[in-house]
Chain A
Amino acid sequence: MSTPLQDRTVYVVGVGTHPYHRPDGRTYVSMGLDAMRSALSDAQAAWLDLDALHVGSGKIGMAAAPTLARFLGRTGLPVVQVESASASGSVAFRQAVLDVAGGTADLAMAVGVDKAEFPPDAVGKAEIAGLADGLVEFTTMFALKTQRFLHERSASVEDLAQVAVKNHANGALNPFAQRQKARTLEEVLAPPFISGPLTRLQCTPVGEGAAAVVVASEEGLRRIGVARSRCVKVLSSVHMSEPLRGQAPVDDGAASRAASRAAYEEAGVGPDDVDVVELHDAFTVEEPVYLEAMGICRPGEALADLGRGDLDIGGRIAVSPSGGLLAMGHPVGPTGIGQVSEVVRQLRAEAEGRQHPGARTALTQMVGVGGVCTIHLLQSAAARD
């Protein structure tokens, strides 16, 4: 099976972010439009140039796409809303990429936007009764994974909390981050405890925001003004639902392992080629689990790599230079597109104050409840020369 991206090259040509923040009175429309206009401006493109719009959101309800599009001008372009839980933005980006790769669009936009609303999800509406219904929130689901991980690795709570120390330090350098404050290990470990060993600063905050990107074909590039040196190539786009469990009762890396393998194969690169990673670190334990599943760290080595500084900006590979979900935040719809925006800034060498030197190849990974996993590989213009 050949993939669309092997037949037709797709570039990210513009990014725009409405900074993530605590819930407030701003409407999703004002946040979304801000990100969309920024992305158009960054691409030196006009709204009229676009052939398609995909809106990623998980919380704000139906009909967000035409509501956003109308205020940029009723051009009649096709608009659609994409929902895939935490991966909503990542999948909106993927759909825009596939539109361009498939030839139905030469310029397409993906925007993610959400408010801090908590509508009931469809998982619960299956009405499969369990023994702990209503008791296990996301924090507890991940507290259980954390406790098991620490047991299997004979690792300490302090070892794992270093993930949060690193990502809060990165977030402090990111003007788009919800949490822009470096934290000591003591601060990260300080109460309040939410569930199990998880303290507040080891959990992603509740927040809002928006992020947008514009993608283009070669033909689309000719329509707009952006310099080729600022165009980032999409090497691969993989979206998978969680495979059947194997022999182990729990394997939290299974979807990331399978999706990353497919992504490396499509891209023709391996994990050793990756310079920058943005991943779903809503809780500290996720970073080492996914890094090992994706082959970025050797099995059992992620915490040692972290401890040596290998995963810092300027280290062997920069992991969550944006601050990740722990510090940049996780408004849901925007999150996956915010990841793409961050790695585009890194690959253009425009990530002021937090630039990973020599960033040429980047990977973004999101998981969504249910579950799904979305992975993209992107490459700088410099790597193509």
Chain B
Amino acid sequence: MTEALWATYENGPHLMVGRCQGCGYRFHPPQQYGCEACGATDDSLESIAVPARGELFSFATVHLHPTEPTPFTIALTTLDDAPEIVIESRLDHAEPRIGGRVRGEIRGDSPDDAVFCFVDDEQEQS
């Protein structure tokens, strides 16, 4: 069961967020097994695109990992249009701080090795 995790629109990258049409509960990452809030089954669960802009909820730079080259940084981010959920992703940011503005970026040479990460969103800081 694989869901598309992001979409690129004219106004920038969006993240796909799961939503229950029955009770309105939203969640990430999207899944089709059933709603954690009301138990509704897969035909009630949809994925909606939410602009990948928001605030850093937390971050951690990983120094030791069994398979990945280190260091790399993981972020928890709340989206402006879905502030009740946190998104776990990579972060590329020289000076991350909790509460700081971030936006999503899709990186990679081809769709096959594309990676989503959040980056510093300087525009919003003025």
Q: Residues of B with Cβ closer than 8 Å to A?
A: 1-3, 5, 15, 28-31, 33, 36-37, 57-68, 72, 74, 76, 78, 83-90, 98-99, 116
Give A375 to B95 CA distance when docked, in angstroms: 41
Residue pair B62, A131 in contact (C-beta under 8 Å): no
Chain B nearest CB from A197 CB (Å) reads: 8
Expressed in whole angstroms, the minimum distance between the Cβ of A132 and any Cβ of chain B is 5
Among residues of A, the one whose C-beta sits closest to the C-beta of B96 is A147
Cα A197 to Cα B30 in complex, Å, equals 30
B85 touches A148 (CB 8 A): no
Known: A131-B89, A244-B36, A249-B84. A151 touches B62 (CB 8 A): no
Residue numbers in A under 8 Å from B88 (CB-CB)? 130-132, 136, 144
Q: Say whether B58 contacts A144, CB under 8 Å.
A: yes
Q: Assess whether A294 is interfacial by the CB under 8 Å rule.
A: no
Q: B33 contacts which chain A residues (CB < 8 A)?
A: 126, 128
* Given A128-B33, A131-B88, 7 further pairs, Cβ under 8 A: A127-B2, A130-B88, A131-B5, A131-B15, A134-B68, A135-B90, A145-B58
Residues of A within 8 Å of B61, CB to CB, are 195-196
Residue from B1, B37, B60, B86 with most neighbouring chain A CB atoms (10 Å)? B60
Smallest Cβ distance from B83 to chain A, in angstroms? 7
How many residues on A have C-beta within 8 angstroms of the other chain's C-beta atoms? 31
Binary contact track A192-209/B, C-beta < 8 Å → 1, others 0: 111111000000000000
| In the bound complex, CA of A135 to CA of B5 (Å) | 16
On chain B, the residues within 8 Å of A2 by CB distance are: none
Which residue of chain B has the shortest Cβ distance to A249 in the bound complex?
Answer: B86
Please determine whether B90 and A147 come into contact, CB atoms closer than 8 angstroms: no
User: How far, in angstroms, from A134 to B88 measured CA to CA in the complex?
Assistant: 12
Q: Tell me the complex Cα distance, A143–B37, Å.
A: 28
Asked if A129 is at the interface (CB within 8 A of a chain B CB), the reply is yes
Q: How far is the CA of A311 from the CA of B96 in the complex (A)?
A: 34
Chain B positions within 8 Å of A140 at CB level: 60, 62, 74
The 5 closest A-B pairs by CB, nearest first: A196-B60, A143-B60, A131-B89, A148-B58, A130-B29
Q: In the complex, are the beta carbons of A144 and B74 less than 8 A apart? A: yes
Q: Which residues of A contact B60 (CB under 8 A)?
A: 140, 143-144, 146-147, 195-197
Give the residues in chain A near B78, CB-CB below 8 Å. 249
Does B86 contact A250, Cβ atoms closer than 8 Å? yes
| Chain B residue at smallest Cβ distance from A137 | B65
Query: In the complex, which residue of chain B has the Cβ closest to the Cβ of A248?
Result: B84
Partner of B63, one of A144, A145, A192, A250: A192
Residues of A within 8 A of B2 (CB): 127, 129
Q: Is the CB of A127 within 8 A of B1?
A: yes
Per-position contact with B for A336-363: 1 when CB-CB < 8 Å, else 0?
0000000000000000000000000000
Which residues from A are CB-within-8-Å of B64? Answer: 139, 192-195
Give the CA-CA distance A130 to B116 in the complex, in Å. 10
Given contacts A148-B98, A195-B64, contact A129 B58 (CB under 8 A): no
- Structural contact, B31 and A126, CB atoms closer than 8 A: yes
Residues of chain A within 8 A of B68, CB atoms compared? 134-135
B115 vs chain A, min Cβ distance (A): 8
Chain B residues positioned under 8 Å from A245 (CB to CB): 84
